[in-house]
Amino acid sequence: MIVGIGNDILNIKRINLKIERRILTDLEKDNGKLSAQYLAGRFSLKESFFKAIGTGLGENSFKDVSFVNNKFGKPYAVFHKDFKGFNFCHVSLSHDDYVFSTVLLERVKGKIFLGLGSNLGQREENLKNALEEIQKNNIEIISISSLYITKPYGYKEQDDFYNIVIEIDTDLSPTNLLNTLLYIEKKMGRRREIKWGPRNIDIDILFYGNLVVDLPNLKIPHYDFENRDFFIAPMYEISKDFVHPISSKKMFEYFSNLSINWRKLEWNLKNI
């Protein structure tokens, strides 16, 4: 469902490069060469975004969102503030003497993916309990992968992990979702003592639709997704055509490059 749309047109000749300090984030400064066209494009996209969320600039800042180009030269949004109400942001930008921008916001059911893992105690039971806690917090579970038994990542002197990926639907914003998951981990007795060390439960946000979030305490998509087989394999199982919002690769492209170094188990909560 489309929840917001914003359009903007701007004459490039009217752009004063002095507004760069007010408009561009550090990420945008690093992403493209400063020019009237580049600055006009970013200014126009931000105007379109704030129109799409229905507030205008208001209490927001131009630096709450960056628009950077992917490897194909297509711009996408990076959010530096917690916004709610949508999980897909579509961006269009074209220019000649003017720049023309459109930002369309969608609320699509599901398409939010969590990775869960456990290697302490009754691992399968820990995962089941975590799923129950997730549902108790008004989060709908849409699909659950098989169990993947994998070797530990990073810190090797520990037991194998049981891993799953789930697709969920929620009205929680990215930050509120993170806080809910941290609450569940704490409630279940999670202790953070050794980086990449043993844990009875670990819950990570892998993807939140196609949103890219860059906050001090939250990076979406998961910052190291492409190096973690225990995320890629179950993601491929439940959503092989899902597109990584930064690399533009589908899950089957990631999966095709993997060497199988896990055991896969069916379990009785795969379909709920």
Find the CATH number of the domain harbouring 125: 3.30.70.560
> Side chain identity at 19, as an amino acid letter?
I
100 with 121, same domain?
no
Residues belonging to the binding site for Mg(2+) are 8, 47
Q: Return d(Cα 226, Cα 44) in angstroms, integer.
A: 32
CA separation for the pair 30, 3 (Å, rounded):
31
Quick one: 178 and 102 in the same domain? no
pLDDT attached to residue 268: 67
Whether residue 271 lies inside any domain: the answer is no
Domain that holds residue 47: 2-106
Return the active site residues: 190, 199, 202, 204
Q: Which stretches in the chain have pLDDT values below 50?
A: 271
Q: Within this chain, do residues 100 and 127 fall inside the same structural domain, yes or no?
A: no
Q: pTM of the prediction?
A: 0.93
Q: Is 130 helix (H, G, I), strand (E, B) or coil?
A: helix
Number of domains in the chain: 2
Strand partners, 165: 115
pLDDT of residue 63: 97
Q: Give me the sign of the Cα torsion angle 159, 196, 244, 221.
A: positive
CATH number for position 88: 3.90.470.20
Residue 53 lies in a domain: yes
Question: Tell me, what amino acid is at 10?
Answer: L
- Listed residues 91, 106, 121: the one ending a domain: 106
* Whether residue 216 sits in one domain with residue 117: yes
Q: Look at residues 48, 81, 106 and tell me which one is the last residue of a structural domain.
A: 106
Whether 122 and 246 map to the same domain: the answer is yes
Indicate whether 84 and 191 sit together in one domain. Answer: no
Q: Determine the distance from the C-alpha atom of residue 88 to the mean position of all C-alpha atoms in its chain, rounded to a whole number.
A: 10
Pick the last residue of a domain from 71, 106, 141: 106
Beta strands in the chain (DSSP E): 2-11, 65-69, 75-79, 88-95, 98-106, 112-118, 140-144, 147-150, 161-169, 202-208, 213-215, 218-220, 262-265
The amino acid that residue 131 corresponds to is L
Cα–Cα distance measured from residue 145 to residue 115, given in angstroms and rounded to the nearest whole number: 10
